[in-house]
Amino acid sequence: MEAGGGCGLTRRQLLRMIGASAGAAAMYQAMSGLGLAAESSFRGPPSLQGAPRGASVLVLGAGLAGMVAAYELRRAGYEVQLLEYNGRAGGRNWSLRGGDRYAELGGAAQHCRFAAGQYFNPGPWRLPYHHHGILHYCRVLGVRLEAFVQTNYNAYLHNTEAYGGKPQRFRAVKADYQGHVAELLAKAAQGGALDGRLTREDQERLLESLRRWGALDRNYAYAAGRASSERRGYARDPGGGASARPAFSQPLRLEDLLGSRLWENLAEGDAYEMQTPLFQPVGGMGAIGEAFACELGPLIRYHAKVVEIRQDERGVTAWYEDARRPGGARRSARADWCVCTIPLSVLGQIPMNVGAAMAEAIAAVPYAAAVKIGLQFKRRFWEQDEQIYGGITYTDLPIGTIGYPSSGYHDGGKAVLLGAYAWGTDAMELTAMAPEERVRQAVAQGARIHPQYPREFDNGVAVAWHRAPFTLGCFALWSEEARAKHYDDLCAIDGRIVLAGEHASYLPAWQEGAVTSALDAIGRLHRRAAAGGAA
């Protein structure tokens, strides 16, 4: 997931601009500074040898962080119990399939009516190759993976104010932007503008590299012809027989291209977290959470809404009630130690006797607004009509993103795509709507890119993360100032309680952040337990 803000320029938009103007390396540096990009620190689960006999741990929340903690602690010999708000495990690791029901805050309920085998991931939907921790547990739990298509050159870039609102193929925009930039730089080199920077020999190498990189002709011009058409696509593709001769396509003019702002999304696939290869679990991202739930079995107590957490010198007690019957009888669970993975947006509303530093850290981190909408259509028209197989279309419409399925190619029958992935104020506006209206908006807006939408639409599901009762937001939205002031306090062990989750990581919004945070937390907790509880 990328980050979004509420007002003005969002971090996502800022990173797009950095990437488009200065390149992927500069964008990655900016993402690292914001805590949005880094290779995972995972080097294997921590050694938990020497667990005290009979020691127990209470884990709050059966998202990935909680289940990783429970899995490793149980393996080490700890007695583990796990409380989970939902009637399923996984937290934001979640796939909606036909027959599923989901109710959000305010009582609006949705019944998913997708066809057999179809699914929609309301939360995470891709796994970078360098997220070693989550991939490790996929391997350990037998979760099968397949390729996820991030960048599809045949998908679209769309701006309502550019080219009469007509979407442009990604490959054409990329080729033309790259070609025009290459031509400008070649002219600068030929005109002597780089004489003080490069030797004659290096200038010759630069010109040759620009010719190849930008598909320039022998005069170092980017123009209609074979070289540019090989990048941006032909007006008529080469074929066989009497009609075999191709027709070259006409590049977009530089001034029009710059004004269109379609270049803003060109660097999306260059960001470190989005570089190929990426993966997805076969059958939906929720397969990971489901595999963990199968492994942990009776350790998880479902429909357990935690309403109070108290610690003393000997242990931690959590009181909970049946999430299906709010206000009902309270029950309690107790253990020597507690790993709490409840999202900060929820945890901040639960009475808990921790120190002022941790309490302030919990209260300091807001959660990002995001809405994802899954749309089922009667056929895979994006493949059949437009030859789009996986990948993403970007638009300035409030829906933000259209994601095409990276599996099931050429299958007959109905199919589901991601009809919206909205951020910031766009997400807030969609969140204020009833679910059925969000779906209608996604169909109406998507029709401006794919005219087939209205006649092919079948049904849809919309998840607004600020209305998800178990998380109240999409992910922890750290600012640089808040992270500098509160991050260490958030991660510190407070008495017998330690926090874990994507919010306690430098990989916010990514499942790898949850995994590595959990492993770090239980490693430190184990060392304290093995030392007899001493700080």
Q: Are 164 and 179 in contact (CB under 8 A)?
A: no
Q: What is the pLDDT of residues 445-491, one digit of tens each?
A: 999 999 999 999 999 999 999 999 999 999 999 999 999 999 999 99
Q: Which of 522, 490, 523 is nearest to 506 (CA)?
A: 490
Residue 230 phi, psi dihedral angles, 5° rounding: -65, -20
State percent of the chain over pLDDT 70.
Answer: 92
Instruction: Answer yes or no: is pLDDT of 12 > 60.
Output: no
Three-state secondary structure call for residue 163: helix
The average pLDDT across 71-84 equals: 98
With residue 145 as reference, give the H or E element that holds it: strand 145-148
Residue 6 has pLDDT above 80, yes or no: no
Spatial separation of the C-alpha atoms in residues 447 and 295, rounded to whole Å: 43
CATH fold of the domain at 56-88+289-365+478-530: FAD/NAD(P)-binding domain (3.50.50)
Q: What is the pTM of this model?
A: 0.91
Edge-to-edge strand ranges of the sheet holding 145-148: 127-128, 278-281, 145-148
Where does the pLDDT of residue 39 fall: very low under 50, low under 70, confident under 90, or very high at 90 and above? low
Cβ pair 225, 217 in contact under 8 A: yes
**Token pair 């709010």 in the structure block, residue:** 326
For the chain, how far is it from start to end, CA to CA, in angstroms?
Answer: 36
241-283 per-position pLDDT tens digit: 998 999 999 999 999 999 999 999 999 999 999 999 999 999 9
Give yes or no for a contact between 211 and 237, defined as CB atoms under 8 angstroms apart. no
Q: What is the dihedral of CA 215, 217, 220, 222, to 10 degrees?
A: -60
H helix runs in 388-510, sequence order:
424-431, 435-446, 453-456, 480-491
User: If you classify domain 98-154+276-284+368-467 with CATH, what class do you get?
Assistant: alpha beta
In this predicted structure, what is the pLDDT of residue 8? 42
Domains of the chain by residue range: 56-88+289-365+478-530, 98-154+276-284+368-467, 169-260
Q: Give the residue among 186, 255, 248 at the shortest CA–CA distance from 223.
A: 248
pLDDT attached to residue 532: 87
Q: What confidence tier does 38 reach under pLDDT thresholds 50, 70, 90?
A: low
- Provide the mean pLDDT of the chain: 93
pLDDT number for residue 304 = 98
The CA-atom distances, in angstroms, between 304 and each of 96, 100, 319 are 21, 20, 9
CATH number (3.40.190.10, 3.40.50.2300, 1.10.10.10, 1.20.1440.240) of 169-260 reads: 1.20.1440.240
Report whether pLDDT(32) > 50: no
Q: What is the mean pLDDT of residues 103-107?
A: 95
> b/e per residue, 357-388, with b = 16+ CB within 10 A?
ebbebbebbebbbbbbbbbbbebbbbbeebeb
Beta-sheet pairing, 370-377 with 415-423: antiparallel
pLDDT by residue (tens digit) across 394-437? 999 999 999 999 999 999 999 999 999 999 999 999 999 999 99
Dihedral of the alpha carbons of 260, 261, 267, 268, in degrees to the nearest 10: -100
CA distance 155 to 82: 43
Question: pLDDT at position 423, please?
Answer: 92
Q: Is the pLDDT of residue 41 over 60?
A: yes
Structure-block tokens of residue 365: 């981190």
The residue among 471, 79, 510 whose CA lies nearest residue 298 is 79
